[in-house]
Structure 1
Amino acid sequence: MSVVSSTGLGSGMDINGIVQQLITAEQQPQLDAITKQETSTKASLSGLGSLKSALSSFQAAVRKLKDGSLYKATQAVSSDATIFTTTAQAGAVPGKHTVEVTSLAKAQQLTTNAEYSGLGAVASANGGTLNFTYAAGSTKTAFSVTVAAGATLANVRDAINSATGNNGVTASVINVDHTSTGPLDPLNGTTVSKLVLTSKDTGTVNGFSVAAATTDAAGTGLDLFATSAPANYSSVTAADAQIKVDGQTATRSLNTITDVLPGVTLNLLQPTAVGTTVNLDVSLDTATINKTITDFVTAYNSLHTTTNSLGSYGGSAAGATNGPLLGDSLLRNITHSIRQNTTDPVTSATSNYNSLAMIGITIDKSGVMSLDSTKLNNALTANLSAVSDVFTSTSGVAVRLDDKLSVYLQSGGALDSRQTSLNKTLASFDDQKTNLQLRMDNLQKGLQKQFIAMDLAVGQFRQTATFLTQKFG
């Protein structure tokens, strides 16, 4: 009687269990080796990503120092911000000035004296045309408005606002109390409507006039909108802003004045008392320069912390871990290059200020950068141009650092190439795992075949032994 089994019926052994143990013993060390390499590669990729991010942040701080306009930045301060506020832009020249605000610019505004009983009241019996023109020299375009017979006040308002070529007048309707003309006035206590016409811009040059071409009787209909009859409107006259800077008069159509002091903007808020002046101080904005340099120091130290962590040695103690780029030559080269380009003298400097150390920026033996604010401020006060040279001249610190960082961070550069290579290596581990699994599957089939053959032989031997025992017993 033959015995065929993969579960050891002939031999009594757990064939599947034995085969699985043998496969595991063969596979696990190889799988562990692949997994270890995969983990290490992922850690290196992550480390390179952190390094790239830190270098990019540092470059952003470097480029702010490389910008020559930083060292020409000015600030403007008004001694009375209730009269005018001020800002300074590139090109502003440091200096002290006095400003007297004689008058503010105003937009022309006309409010009809004629009162209408609601928006539905007829504004024109016969209709006609309202012609709008502007003061000589205005950039606004004259325009005309056609008003139909029987038009309402709302129709007139809408026709003006939608008129072709109207780029200077806004029409609106206000609902107000009736202006009483006596105790027997039948409209006393009622609400009436009036048309309001307002120039979109301030200044006398933007003032406008209205002429009516109509067959309405004088003093009725569209004739009540003509500015030729002063009694037709209650008005706010267009006016220019007028100021005195250092005693000299300047007239402008806007309350925001940008061209009296080049690079300085004055935002007029209210007139001063006659003869009263407000101080205007335009000075170099050393606070912004200070902050930008301080940010540079902070960014350098942040980069230093990152590179130190990436290349750190955790030691031999249990549980200690190393940095993901420990011993990496690229990390060492980048760290050395950045420090060297930061600390080397500036050969293109035109004064004794020819290094960061000369303006108060030093790096200690552990690689940490520090800033002596007093020394920096003294340098800024003594020779701002020289401080600019330290960073922005041909071999300035910011110029050469930006060049070096661009090489490291560019597409196809050292960091990019390393990441590409590691990603290819990472992808290969999946193939290695697949190939290992195929080998183990084939090995398992072979072992099972051998053990089953052995089990059959053992089963046959046992049958023979049992037969002989019974025969000769």
Structure 2
Amino acid sequence: MSTVTSLGVGSGLDLESLVTQLVSASYDSKFQTISDKQDAITVQLSAVSQVKSALETFQDSLAKLKSADSLSERQTTVTNPDDIEAFTAEATSSASVGNYKIEVLGLAKGSVATTQDGTFSSSSDVVSTTDGVMTFSAGDETFDVNVTAGMTVSQLRDAINKSASNFGVNANIINTGDSTVGTKLVFTSSVTGDPLTNNLTITNNNSELDKVSTVASGGGSTMSLKDSQQAHITIDGVDAYSDSNTMENVIANVTLELNDVTDTDSPSTLKVGTDSDDIEQYIRDFVDSYNSMMSTLKDQTSSGTFSSSGTALTDGGALQGDATLRGFMNQMASLVSNVVQGASPQLNTLYALGISMNSDGELEIETSNSYGGESGEDRLSSALEDNFDDIAALFSGDNGIATQMDSLLEQYTQRGGLLDQKTDTYNDQLDDLNKQETDLSDRQTSYESTLRSRYTALDTALAEMNSSSSYVLNLLASL
């Protein structure tokens, strides 16, 4: 019996090609259909990703516009005569616009305690022959230092400076070089302000320590004390005082940081104004970002054009006709044209701010007005100059345009939002197509195996018939 080792060898027929053609005819078109759908969904997934990126970029551009403080920022300008930087200033968005003449007559200082002349001849002198405790106080602050018998001046200095509870007393030693004056121990307090409450007070429980205290426990000589003092300025001729060199709300919603005193009758000038340049840039960035986002959406959702036969659409976006995104675009366009409730009647629309929408659905700040009247640039300049504080109400707050836009965007861009849901749907479809492709491949393998089995049997049968025929012919030929 003949054995077929390769399909078609036994019969001489091209059965291998026949099997290949039969398998191809049955499955190639089905695989192509799945592949086309996979490609389409992959493109749609990419389009959704681009749309989400565009929405997130626009959402980021709304951050400043949502903040009332950002939109009401104040600029402070300090003009100091004679190259003296007397103070710096910061203003909150609630500060009133205005100009102020400010003189710095004195800076806030802490008190200074100094030992009397001749108390110590050197830093190695012994402070006390017995143990004791020194208590340092200023304002609401206090701390203790233990003085041991035989402690020297330099050791006392170190004990004070290294105390973990020290609130801001610095001990220092000054070697005067004058035998009469001797070595001075100086305590400087960081607590500034009214001397009645903030002077440094040093008490003790050992009369030997009176010489390094400001209050005697045994009637001995004490340290001399230079009082602490308050900061003293005049604002347009009105005196103002502070316990520190940081003066808050001396001018309402303005903080002054004092650095130096001004010369007599040479006040510095503080100007509090609006930060219109930054706000104008926020507004122009908003226009550009909105147009960029809407351009991406239009590209991805466009319906395309009919082919010459009129039967198919070509050049359309990957998400053409997407009802969800079309709805979003309509909502955005509505917010752009809405009147903002609660905003100033003079500035309650984007149009009043100088922003209009052209025939292509893009926002613009027109440089001219074809119908006469003010251009967009004119309206923007007027708003920044005359209605600056009303801009915040237009964009921020519960009803502000930026707030409403951000709320709408959040529905689409947040984790698990509408765009994530759309992505999940496409991924599910892609998973299903991948499964269909795997199942189809299994069926194709099974079908091909069946064909090969059948045609192998046919090839074997024909080979046997050919062999029998040759045998008979040879037998007849030998008769």
Q: TM-score range by the shorter chain?
A: 0.7 to 0.9
Structure 2 vs 1, CA of residues 132 and 19 (structure 1 numbering), >3 Å: closer, same or farther? farther
- Structure 2 distance, partners of 1:12, 1:240, is 116
Instruction: State the Cα deviation string for residues 391-439 of structure 1 (Å, max 9, x = none).
Output: 4587653354344334444566543432232221122122112211211
1:209 to 201, 221, 225: 201
Structure 2 vs 1, CA of residues 179 and 164 (structure 1 numbering), >3 Å: closer, same or farther? closer
Q: Superposition pairs for residues 110-149 of structure 1, below 5 Å?
A: 114=120, 123-124=126-127, 126-135=129-138, 138-140=139-141, 142-149=142-149
Q: Which amino acid in the other structure matches residue 242 of structure 1?
A: H
Q: Does 1:285 align with 2:272?
A: no
Instruction: State the Cα deviation string for residues 73-113 of structure 1 (Å, max 9, x = none).
Output: 33322122712111101321222221100011223455778
Match of 1:270 in 2: 260
Q: Superposition pairs for residues 240-389 of structure 1, below 5 Å?
A: 240-311=230-301, 323-346=317-340, 351=345, 353-371=347-365, 372-384=376-388, 387-388=391-392
SS at the partner of 2:241? strand
2:177 to 172, 176, 180: 180
Q: Which moved more, 1:39-48 or 1:338-347?
A: 338-347
SS at the partner of 2:110? coil
Q: Does 1:101 align with 2:95?
A: no
Q: Superposition pairs for residues 400-415 of structure 1, below 5 Å?
A: 400-409=404-413, 413-415=417-419
The unaligned stretches of length 5 or more in structure 1 are 186-191, 217-221
Alignment root-mean-square deviation, CA: 3.8
Structure possessing the higher relative contact order (Cα contacts under 8 Å, 6 or more residues apart): 1
SS at the partner of 2:384? helix
- Structure 2 distance, partners of 1:15, 1:236, is 116
Contact 2:113–2:225 (Cα < 8 Å) also in 1: yes
Match of 2:423 in 1: 419
Contact 1:202–1:253 (Cα < 8 Å) also in 2: yes
1:449 Cα shift?
0.7
1:390 Cα shift?
4.1
Match of 1:166 in 2: 166
Q: Which moved more, 1:359-368 or 1:12-21?
A: 12-21
Q: Which moved more, 1:398-407 or 1:46-55?
A: 398-407
SS at the partner of 1:280? strand
Structure 2 vs 1, CA of residues 4 and 344 (structure 1 numbering), >3 Å: closer, same or farther? same
Q: Which amino acid in the other structure matches residue 78 of structure 2?
A: S
Match of 1:188 in 2: none
- Structure 2 distance, partners of 1:93, 1:432, is 70
- Structure 1 distance, partners of 2:134, 2:317, is 81
Contact 2:136–2:202 (Cα < 8 Å) also in 1: yes
Q: Which amino acid in the other structure matches residue 257 of structure 2?
A: N
Normalization by structure 1: what TM-score?
0.80
Q: Which amino acid in the other structure matches residue 374 of structure 1?
A: D
Q: Does 1:226 align with 2:213?
A: yes
The unaligned stretches of length 5 or more in structure 2 are 309-313, 366-375
Q: Does 1:464 align with 2:432?
A: no
Match of 1:448 in 2: 452
